[in-house]
Structure 1
Amino acid sequence: MKLIIGLGNPGKEYKDTRHNIGFAAIKKFADDIGVSNFKNKFKGIVGEINYKGEKLILLQPQTFMNLSGNSVVEAVNFYKINPEKDIIVVYDDMDLDIGKLRIRLKGSAGGHNGIKSIISHIGDKFPRIKVGIGKSKSREATVNYVLGRFSKSEREDIDENLTVILKILDEFVTEENLEKIMCKYNKK
């Protein structure tokens, strides 16, 4: 069983914002593999499917970004999932340029409040895909930046990233060696 989590903020006003890249990845993956039976569960929206011999749970926490861990811990505890090898979290990262992706098997929150919330509930040992959204021009502008939308040229890079994320998530389902996936996709 695998739990794939995409971080974002609920509500139409946040759709397609930089901060919601995790939600976008989950939606694209769900569409790609045919998950359409989403339900409200675990303070989130959850879809389930049997895929390539694994039960997959797709989760979009609806707690707002800063409380994502409240949703994640409920799903992890309910399914008795091992975070170190059976979950993966997709989220935005301002420390990476647009068009860059990084997979990590564990680590700090790096200033990301959604990841900080998850770490406070399940620890820091869980795989993650960090999607570069670039930096805001100033610290004061950060909130507006992450809640802003991508430009047309940025959107092209993000769409390319989403295609690569689909490949990573597909391999995450069947590949036992997560370091192999990390080495393959952390080349950029």
Structure 2
Amino acid sequence: MKLIVGLGNPGIEYQFTPHNLGYLTIDRIANNLGLEIRNRQCRALTARAVIGGQPVILAKPETFMNLSGLSVRELVAEYQADVKSDLTVIYDELDLPLGTMRIRQRGSSAGHNGMESILGALATDEFLRIRLGIAPDRKIADSVKFVLTPFRKAQLKVVDEILDAAADAVEVILKEGPAAAMNRFNRKPEDSSGQ
């Protein structure tokens, strides 16, 4: 069983914030499949799906971001998942510009508290992650306030596009493997200057 976990914070006040891009990606995948993420188990909202011929659990931990590892560890145990080959975690990345995506097979948390929790709970960094850029084109004074403030209207088109791309990346991972997804999606944003 493959586990696709999107990180975020529960609660309507966090729904459309940068920190919830993982949740929003899971919602986009479920919507594309005509599913609802409504089963409660392992401290998460979940749904079963088949993507690329593979049985999948889509999950949104309800532990709040900083305790995501508790839920992910329970999901891995419940489904006897091999962390290295079965787990994909989707989350926001302040070090990448809004609208960009990077897929990695291992690595540090880079200061992301949800990832730090998962790394600690699983005692390994060897699992697939899809990092979705949220960095604005201007300097931010308070990163905590920034990630918990809803997207501005002017950003919604880019957010919609990255959610589609992330959903597509999950499908490619499941159909063709992580290497194919990295080759296809780990590109620098198009140069808008035309040069």
TM-score (ref. length: structure 1) = 0.94
Structure 1 partner of 2:115: 115
Q: What are the ranges of 5 or more consecutive residues in structure 1 without an aligned counterpart?
A: none
How big is the shift at 1:180?
A: 2.1
Aligned residues of 2:8 and 2:61 also touching (Cα < 8 A) = yes
Structure 2 partner of 1:148: 149
Q: Name segments (4+ residues, structure 1) moved above 3 Å.
A: none
How big is the shift at 1:125?
A: 0.7
Structure 2 partner of 1:127: 128
Paired residue secondary structure (2:181): helix
1:150-165 alignment, distance < 5 Å: 150-165=151-166
For residue 140 of structure 2, the aligned residue among 137, 140, 149 is 137
Q: What are the ranges of 5 or more consecutive residues in structure 2 without an aligned counterpart?
A: 189-195
Paired residue secondary structure (2:173): helix
Aligned residues of 1:3 and 1:57 also touching (Cα < 8 A) = yes
Structure 2 partner of 1:26: 26
Structure 2 partner of 1:180: 180
Q: Structure 1 CA distance, aligned partners of 2:47 and 2:165?
A: 21
Structure 1 50/20 Cα, relative in aligned 2: closer, same or farther at 3 Å?
Answer: same
Count of aligned positions? 185
Aligned residues of 1:38 and 1:48 also touching (Cα < 8 A) = no
Aligned residues of 2:173 and 2:180 also touching (Cα < 8 A) = no
Residues 32-71 of structure 1 show CA distances to partners (whole Å, capped at 9, x for unaligned) of: 0122262110001011123443211000000000000000
Identity of aligned residues (%): 38
Paired residue secondary structure (1:70): helix
Q: Structure 2 CA distance, aligned partners of 1:128 and 1:162?
A: 15
Structure 1 37/22 Cα, relative in aligned 2: closer, same or farther at 3 Å?
Answer: closer
How big is the shift at 1:142?
A: 1.3
Paired residue secondary structure (1:103): strand
Q: Structure 1 CA distance, aligned partners of 2:133 and 2:52?
A: 29
Aligned amino acid, residue 97 of structure 1: P
Residues 85-118 of structure 1 show CA distances to partners (whole Å, capped at 9, x for unaligned) of: 2111110010011111111111000000000000
1:65-104 alignment, distance < 5 Å: 65-104=65-104
